[in-house]
């Protein structure tokens, strides 16, 4: 799962409690592979689902299967360009930055006021 707020809704949490065989695993925000999956679903939605008019679930499923068949006629593999070393270096930089943050080290923003106590615009 990504970190979208719907996973924390009480109905979703209740469903997960009633179905203990499903164990949520959260992925880091902006995970590259998750972005690819979301992008693919955007293609499906934009190219086929929104352009169609479906009177039944069967019609929608048939349209999706047609889209999949056409998409898979000319597959293009994802070529991963990041190296393990570059990912590990980035993680090390992130850990270093996080280690520098002290609890309470960031103050909430305050609105600027004029000398007579009114807020500046």
CA count, 13 A, side-chain hemisphere, 7: 10
Q: What percent of the chain has pLDDT over 70?
A: 80
Whole-number Cα distances in Å, 54 to 13, 45, 48, 66 = 32, 13, 11, 14
What the block records as the tokens of 83 is 């190296």
Express the helix, strand and coil content of the chain in percent, nearest 5 each: 55, 0, 45
pLDDT band for position 119 (50/70/90)? low
Any domain includes 103:
no
Alpha carbon 87 to chain centroid, angstroms: 19
* Cβ partners under 8 Å of residue 7, min gap 6: 1, 24, 26
What's residue 49's pLDDT? 93
CA count, 13 A, side-chain hemisphere, 85: 0
Q: How many distinct structural domains can be found in the chain?
A: 1
Query: What is the arithmetic mean of pLDDT over 101-117?
Result: 68
Whole-angstrom distance, CA of residue 38 vs CA of residue 102: 35
What the block records as the tokens of 22 is 């499903």
Any domain includes 59:
yes
Question: What mean pLDDT value characterizes the chain?
Answer: 83
Domain span at residue 36? Answer: 32-80
pTM: 0.45
What's residue 26's pLDDT? 74
Least confident of 10-14, 48-52, 66-70, 112-116: 112-116
Any domain includes 26:
no
Q: Answer whether residue 18 shows pLDDT above 70.
A: yes
Any domain includes 67:
yes
Higher per-residue pLDDT: 78 or 84? 84
What's residue 43's pLDDT? 92
Any domain includes 112:
no
């Amino acid at each position: 799962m990504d970190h979208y707020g719907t996973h924390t809704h009480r109905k979703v949490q209740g469903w997960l409690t009633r179905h203990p065989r499903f164990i949520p695993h959260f992925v880091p925000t902006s995970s590259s592979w998750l972005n690819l999956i979301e992008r693919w679903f955007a293609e499906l939605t934009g190219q086929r689902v929104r352009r169609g008019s479906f009177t039944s679930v069967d019609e929608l499923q048939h349209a999706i299967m047609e889209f999949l068949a056409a998409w898979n006629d000319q597959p293009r593999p994802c070529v991963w360009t990041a190296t393990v070393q570059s990912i590990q270096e980035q993680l090390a930089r992130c850990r270093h930055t996080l280690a520098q943050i002290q609890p309470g080290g960031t103050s909430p923003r305050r609105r600027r006021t004029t000398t007579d106590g009114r807020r500046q615009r």
